[in-house]
A and B are shown apart, each in its own frame.
Chain A
């Protein structure tokens, strides 16, 4: 951690998650775990952030939002993917609206396994990300993260004759 020249600010994006990872990430920021004492501040604006914490897999609707949030962050930037859904889709891997892991759309630097990961594991992931951030700031090439080895592999999807239903849209009828 001696490389830490500045406080890493994180922005959190809930991609397609069930909330489990999100509330555990929130627990990291709050008393008991409290990463804020190390200068890790949760910000709402991607333009202020160094680290993007993503939870959940990607679906048709939020893929564009995820790419937007990622692109708005200034370089150097690091992506921490929390939870098993971010690497493969997890328990939802076979769902029709799940396109796959986050790494299909944006480069991921750290994967944190678990469903949901414990706050300790998430803090571990952020600490790793800080090292990568420092390396990136110096212009050192960093490898893309390996996926966790034990993970759910999506089974081949059965051919479904009926088209996938659009999600309920409240207020669509006006």
Chain B
């Protein structure tokens, strides 16, 4: 047996935008085992949520993660609304879907760029980030901010998208779809990209099921697990099918995310076509009492919020289970047996969000 050595990967590593440490037990160039060490971005957000007014927690929830921020606040608001029996106006539901899908697109494009960077394809990275700017500008023109929108609130949304802005949104979506078409042959057919992704970091459907993988990791193994199909917000009135692949390797996860980008373009267009008239928010009185579990689909998978109120303005407990936390056990199944050079690519194909995981 070859001599084993341990290589620390992270917390400060060029391919990782966030501090995650993996101790890689190596046999020559081959990874035998990966031991994660997290806690570099733990803030203690759940405890802070108990000291703030539940309305303020909406903005705190938004800062669980800067990448899928809107969907975090949406999940929290949906939980509180269900707890307080608030009926959200239809228009607000459609607006929420629009911003959620914009966040999904910018998250997937960021992921696409970072993965391309991890396998050394810098021009593809720049192309992904260039397309992403279109989405960020779209968010800025509709909500007033590029990243932290702050538009979701308990009882509805705080900003309306006038129908006069739909033309501009359509133009932006056209340009995004054009860019995606341009990138598609490179990502899906390019020889060097396929060499780095096909058959790398494979996980079987059985392993994905046992480790409780969510989002694109589960979808790439053939599980049509997409929480949007339950029809929260306005998803019930929109027409879409969860994207699935069966190979379970890095390439399948790439295909799933790339197809979801097109799906998001389509969902935003459907929202604009079906947008009902009416108010965008209802006033909310009182305080939440009781406990509830709220779930939504994030770019990385399903997020779970457990909210417990006790009739006062402060919550008694807030617990967040984020998708990356569910995907880390699956990651640990993918790594053993791979080459050291493939480690960054495999880590990035689960699209890790460490800020989410550690809160």
A: which residues have CB within 8 A of B? 13-24, 26-27, 30-32, 43-46, 56-57, 59, 61-62, 65, 69, 91-92, 94-98, 115-116, 118, 158, 164, 166-171, 174
> Can you list, as one digit per residue, whether each of B104-139 has a CB less than 8 Å from chain A (1) or not (0)?
000000100100000000000110011011001000
Further pairs besides A27-B133, A97-B42: 15, Cβ < 8 Å? A14-B17, A18-B63, A19-B17, A19-B353, A20-B148, A30-B130, A31-B126, A43-B14, A59-B40, A61-B39, A61-B42, A65-B12, A96-B44, A171-B35, A171-B36
Task: Name the residue on B nearest A61 (C-beta).
Answer: B39
Indicate the size class of the contact surface on chain B.
Answer: 35 or more
B: which residues have CB within 8 A of A? 11-15, 17-19, 35-45, 47-48, 51, 59-60, 63-67, 69, 110, 113, 125-126, 129-130, 132-133, 136, 146-148, 325, 328-329, 332, 353, 355, 358
Tell whether, in the assembled complex, residue A17 and residue B41 are in contact, meaning their CB atoms are under 8 Å apart.
yes
Task: Name the residue on B nearest A65 (C-beta).
Answer: B11
A21 contacts across to B, CB distance below 8 A: 66
Some 27 contacts from A to B, beta carbons below 8 A apart, are A14-B19, A18-B63, A18-B65, A19-B17, A19-B67, A19-B355, A20-B66, A20-B69, A26-B129, A27-B136, A30-B129, A31-B126, A31-B130, A31-B133, A44-B13, A45-B14, A59-B40, A61-B40, A69-B12, A92-B43, A94-B51, A97-B42, A97-B43, A118-B146, A164-B44, A167-B39, A169-B39
CB of B102 to closest CB in A, whole Å:
14
B12 contacts across to A, CB distance below 8 A: 13, 46, 65, 69
**Bound Cα distance A69, B40 (Å):** 14
Task: Name the residue on B nearest A66 (C-beta).
Answer: B12
Chain B CB within 10 Å — which of A15, A21, A31, A46 has the most? A31
Instruction: Please count the residue pairs between chain A and chain B whose beta carbons lie under 8 angstroms apart in the complex.
Output: 140
Which of B130, B147, B358 is in CB contact (< 8 Å) with A23? B147
A158 contacts across to B, CB distance below 8 A: 51
A46 contacts across to B, CB distance below 8 A: 12
A30 contacts across to B, CB distance below 8 A: 113, 125-126, 129-130, 132-133
**Bound Cα distance A19, B147 (Å):** 10
Task: Name the residue on B nearest A19 (C-beta).
Answer: B66
A27 contacts across to B, CB distance below 8 A: 129, 132-133, 136
B353 contacts across to A, CB distance below 8 A: 19
Tell whether, in the assembled complex, residue B129 and residue A170 are in contact, meaning their CB atoms are under 8 Å apart.
no
- Given the contacts A14-B19, A21-B66, A30-B129, A62 and B44 also touching, CB distance less than 8 Å: no
Tell whether, in the assembled complex, residue B110 and residue A95 are in contact, meaning their CB atoms are under 8 Å apart.
no
Tell whether, in the assembled complex, residue A17 and residue B51 are in contact, meaning their CB atoms are under 8 Å apart.
no
Tell whether, in the assembled complex, residue A97 and residue B44 are in contact, meaning their CB atoms are under 8 Å apart.
yes
